[in-house]
Amino acid sequence: MAGSVKSVSSGIRPVYLCVLDGFALGQKVKGNAIYQAVKSGQAPFLAKLFAEQRCARLACSGPAVGLPPGTMGNSEVNHMNMGAGRVVFQSIERINVATKDGSFFTNDALRAAVDNCRSKNSTLHLMGILQGDNGRVHGDIEHLFSLLQMAKDADLKSVAIHLFTDGRDTNPKAAGEIYLKRLEDKIEELGLSGIAEIKTVMGREIAMDRDTAWNKTLTALKALVDGDGQYRTETARDAIEASYENDQTDEFIRPTIVGNYKGISRGDSVVFWNYRQDRGIQLTMAFCESNRKTFNYKTKAKNTWDGIRLFFIKMGVKLGWLKAGKYGLISNKDFALIQSIRQELAGLKFVAMTEYYPGLNALTAFAEGEVPETVGEVVSQAGLKQLRLAGPEKFAHVTGWFSGRRTKPFLGEDRILALDPTLKARTEEGKRYDLVPEMTAHLETEQALKAIESDKFALIVHNFQNGDMVGHTGNLDAAIAAISYISACLEKIVPTVVRQGGAVVLTADHGNADEMILMKKGQEVPSTQHSTNDVPLWVIGADVRLAETGAIPDIAPTVLQLMGLPIPESMTAKSLIV
């Protein structure tokens, strides 16, 4: 690798790779927020782009991004494929293969959890998200079924199931309408009635926080370890239906204890069956880690805090406002409470389905590795500078996932995390991004323009999070507004890139805002999940002709060809430039 980095040099065309999260090519119908924003005149830049410039259509789900057929793509998977320039087979596929060839049932980590319970006559706790079918973004109910089969084969006498209900990647009431009965039927089919029982139910908003809201993680931990929840019901169905009656759909179900559940005992085992990493980090840390520095994982990225500090100064906020409990730092109180609960778990055997973070202090069933020779690595090896830019919900995706699971910046890689210190308060702690559909788009745009005009960066990778995060709320009008904000930002950024002699690659990772309404029993219902529609890719500022179709991995060689850099042989995808 080059020992120094330089600004853009002769022979290198700068590229601004802009990823519009949750932005696909849906039908021209009422529920397509992108179409509605364009049609109504609220997104003039995008309207002109669609009218005057042909785009390539990229497959972004299923085998095109290393997922099972029919499975919708997601930000983590698709950014990794985008940066890798090849199909990266995902954890779900590796686990599926293991269940089919039988190696799942002899997996060392999973066997350790089961054998621990058999030898100590203790309880096996299975916790994870309730997802299935084409909404298997974080976990798969079929993997839970395989774990139950392992428990049956081992003749375990006590299995506690802890359900994290979804409502975001699946429809808002999928747990009560589809997956709970499927789980109950499987328990009966396996002859585990009275042995395998659902003991807690809570929404992913609490159990799977990824925004360092440690009070939420602590709430989930109390329910799981101490049997201390907000409600107690006789059955899991009672818990879910009571939540629906209170207008709280799957994502927001409050921690509910089922029956006489008292908590996790010393000597028990826990298997966390989620395979996607980002939303498994905090709860796993609460179970497994004692080093406070580990909990402050979102403060470790190089240049992240410089970016935050810049925004705070611009907005007139004193730096002293940034203190424990704000933007990544765990408070003394939450850390102490988590550690006191951990003291109750001596002898616990904890297994993570995949490696949620480097240095995980637990067993991992299906370990992951870094993907070599990604776009970021190629740019770094050429001695060029690059920038990764995003708001809080997608920062991990343009950094670690785009770099093939590498969390450390490459030589010459700068990072800016755009934060608005008022956003959480204005969106009910991130639950209601429809209340502020612009999110941090304008802050990101300011930073993008400064970076472009500096002529320092050969590559800028920028994710606009709005289409996905507002799309997940199911609020069509807010999603239309989100698209209009993005259009206004692009109207400033794209001409600036072209004036500076660069090229814009404007694309998306997967759909969401393009499909905001679904038909259910003849009725229109809000959709909060991703779509499987193709995403667009435009190249602006370079006189090139694009292929009509392609896939997400094709973005990497396209970017490198535009820059004038060599494409590694390991990038088996094809450039879209023809």
CATH for 431: 3.40.720.10
- Final residue of a structural domain among 350, 366, 382: 366
Residue 569 resides in a domain: no
Residues 77 and 191 in one domain: no
pLDDT at 68 (0 to 100)? 85
The first and second tokens of residue 509, run together, are 């990772």
Give the pLDDT confidence score for residue 290 in this predicted structure.
95
Q: Given this model, what pLDDT does residue 320 score?
A: 31
Looking up tokens 């065309």 gives 13
206 and 193 share one domain:
yes
**Which residue, among 363, 338, 365, has the nearest Cα to 94 in the 3D structure?**
365
Same domain, 273 and 141: yes
Task: Point out the residues that are catalytic.
Answer: 75
Q: Are 566 and 560 a contacting pair, CB within 8 Å? A: yes
The four Cα atoms 28, 33, 38, 39 give a dihedral, to 10 degrees, of 50
Q: What is the pLDDT of residue 319?
A: 30
Torsion (CA) 522, 479, 211, 233 in degrees, nearest 10: -30
Residue 571 lies in a domain: no
Same domain for 303 and 174? yes
If asked whether residues 241 and 156 sit together in one domain, one would say yes
> Token pair for residue 109?
């980590």
Q: Tokens representing 251?
A: 């994502």
**Kind and range of the H or E element at 550?**
strand 549-551
Residues 209 and 233 in one domain: yes
List the one residue out of 213, 69, 71, 196 whose CA is nearest residue 144: 196
Task: Give domain status of residue 575, yes or no.
Answer: no
Domain tally for the chain?
A: 2
- Rounded Cα distance, 187 and 196, in Å: 7
348: CATH: 3.40.1450.10
Sequence-distant (6+) residues with CB within 8 A of 345 are 225, 264, 266, 287
**Residue where a domain terminates, one of 335, 366, 397:** 366
Asked whether residue 315 falls in the same domain as residue 461, the answer is no
Indicate whether 165 belongs to any domain. Answer: yes
| The predicted structure's pLDDT at residue 134 | 78
- The pLDDT, as a whole number, for residue 122 is 98
Task: Indicate whether 377 and 492 sit together in one domain.
Answer: yes
541 domain residue, yes or no:
yes
**Residue 144 domain boundaries:** 92-366
Asked if the structure places residue 572 within a domain, the reply is no
- Quick check: is 2 in a domain? no
Pair (312, 400) in one structural domain: no
Q: Helical H runs in 170-280?
A: 174, 180-189, 204-207, 214-221, 236-245
Q: How many beta carbons lie within 10 A of that of residue 510, not counting itself? A: 31
pLDDT value, residue 312: 35
Is 316 within a domain?
A: yes
**What pLDDT shows up at residue 521?**
83
Domain boundary among 331, 366, 401: 366
Whether 112 and 175 map to the same domain: the answer is yes
pLDDT of residue 4: 57
Shared domain check, 232 and 83: no
Report, as ranges of residue numbers, the positions in the chain whose pLDDT lies below 70: 1-10, 299-328
Report the pLDDT value the prediction gives residue 328, as an integer from 0 to 100: 66
Residue 352 and residue 222 in one domain: yes
